[in-house]
Amino acid sequence: MLLCLFPWLLINVARGQFMADGYWNGRYSGKLNYVDYTSDDVSNGLWSDSGSLRGPYLLSSGEYSGSKCTGCVCDDNNQIVSSCTGPAVSLLGHSFINITEETFTNPSAVTSIKILNNPNFNLIGNGTFLSLVNLEYLNLAKNALEITTFNWIPQTLPTSLTRVALMENNIHWLPDDMFSGTSVTILSLSYNQFTFLPQKALTDMTQLLYL
């Protein structure tokens, strides 16, 4: 069995084409303490060896082009996004520069935020996530978020969060206990400017499966 599988594996690995869920589950499913990955995990930051995904993390490359303003109102002339009601907020290719507490008019209804490829989006206001008590997915990949020890605006993340993706920004540093007490299972920080792993930001993450 191993003998006949081996050439197949070799060909597929050499081609560099596998999705992380199939790859890891194929090896470890059913083993002690192994939790099967899902395709949802793949779209939220698990590394796959596939040229169809950007990074190759997260979503297919095509999802980063064009524009989208779902669950909100986007005013590109004034560079503002407002009136976000959810449950799914999805913003792509717009000119707004920040999101704040006031951006969300029905905060407890919002379960998912996907803000991708908005070249001016560089600031998250104080208390933006405080009332988003049912937020599970937070994907802020490929924006202009710059986070350093000098410009940090304190944030409290909802304990309901299960997936967080912050790749392709300009994050140099994250504060201690940033994700503590959340339900985050998959956390993605690649393609930023970290000079070391922000270890203390990751304490008390009891559900974390993949970093």
Ligand X SMILES: *[C@@H]1O[C@H](CO)[C@@H](O)[C@H](O)[C@H]1NC(C)=O
46 or 84, CB closer to ligand X?
Answer: 84
Q: How far is the CB of 34 from ligand X (least distance, A)?
A: 42
CA distance readout (Å), 177 to 17, 44, 80, 203: 36, 21, 30, 6
Residue 144 tokens read as 């202009």
Going residue by residue from 14 to 53, which x/- string records binding to ligand X, judged by CB under 6 A? ----------------------------------------
- Pairwise CA distance, residues 25 & 35, whole Å: 8
- Interface residue with ligand X, options 125, 160, 180, 181 (CB under 6 A): 125
CA distance readout (Å), 163 to 64, 111, 179, 181, 186: 19, 11, 11, 13, 5
Contact 203, 177 (CB under 8 A): yes
Residue 181 binds to ligand X (criterion: CB under 6 A): no
- Pairwise CA distance, residues 199 & 139, whole Å: 21
Residue 153 binds to ligand X (criterion: CB under 6 A): yes
- Pairwise CA distance, residues 47 & 50, whole Å: 9
- Pairwise CA distance, residues 59 & 19, whole Å: 12
Using CB under 6 A as the binding rule, the residues of this chain from 61 to 120 that contact ligand X are 79-80, 97-98, 100
201 or 208, CB closer to ligand X?
Answer: 201
Residue 149 binds to ligand X (criterion: CB under 6 A): no
- Interface residue with ligand X, options 39, 126, 151, 159 (CB under 6 A): 126
25 or 98, CB closer to ligand X?
Answer: 98
Binding residues for ligand X, per CB under 6 A? Answer: 79-80, 97-98, 100, 123, 125-127, 153-154
